[in-house]
Amino acid sequence: MDSDWLSAFADVFSAVGTVGAFLLGFFLLRREHRREADRAEDERRAQAERISAWVELTRKADGGRELDFHVHNASAMPIYEVELPLPARGGEEPGSEFVGLVPPGRTVQRSAPAEWLRSYVEPEPVQIEFLDSAGRRWSRDEQGTLSRTD
């Protein structure tokens, strides 16, 4: 009788250990998949995180003032189809300032709308949309939040 009880206990202990090992393996596999997905997302975002755009007052050669958009690409690859969406005025359709290509390590300047000069106080970020070197479309809003767009 004691050997039957001991054998049953060993079988139960073995079954619990097997189930526990399976659950632990499943948990570790799931965690590794999540970690790999996070790593892949970080790689996809790496170039886009190095792009910024702002509006800033510049002095012209004749001494006048001009408000310019600045688009800076701090990555090692160019960005394409760069656009700076402009807010709509009155009942107009929203427009955008098309910049095109921004080479790696460069800052490109474009003139901002002249009427913005009246409300300008200090340099501030502006919204930007662009394609990274892998062809993914990104958008960064005025608060600096980066998001992938389709």
Q: Could you say which DSSP state residue 92 is in?
A: P
Beta strands in 1-150 (DSSP E): 51-59, 65-73, 79-86, 95-102, 106-111, 124-125, 128-131, 137-140, 146-149
Mean pLDDT of the chain: 87
Nearest to 86 by CA among 73, 99, 75, 74: 99
pLDDT of 90 over the 80 cut? no
pLDDT of 54 over the 90 cut? yes
Mean pLDDT, range 45-55, rounded to an integer: 92
Q: Which of 13-22, 89-98, 141-150 has the lowest mean pLDDT?
A: 89-98
Q: Which phi and psi angles does 111 have, rounded to 5°? A: -70, 135
Q: What does the alpha-carbon distance between residue 18 and residue 103 come to, in Å, rounded to a whole number?
A: 57
Band of the pLDDT at 73, cuts 50, 70, 90?
very high
Band of the pLDDT at 1, cuts 50, 70, 90?
low
pLDDT of 112 over the 90 cut? no
CA 147 distance to own-chain centroid: 5
Please give the structure tokens belonging to residue 126.
């502006």
Give pLDDT, residue 79.
96
Q: What does the alpha-carbon distance between residue 59 and residue 62 come to, in Å, rounded to a whole number?
A: 8
Instruction: Enter the pTM of the model.
Output: 0.71
pLDDT of 96 over the 90 cut? no
Mean pLDDT, range 122-139, rounded to an integer: 93
pLDDT of 150 over the 80 cut? no
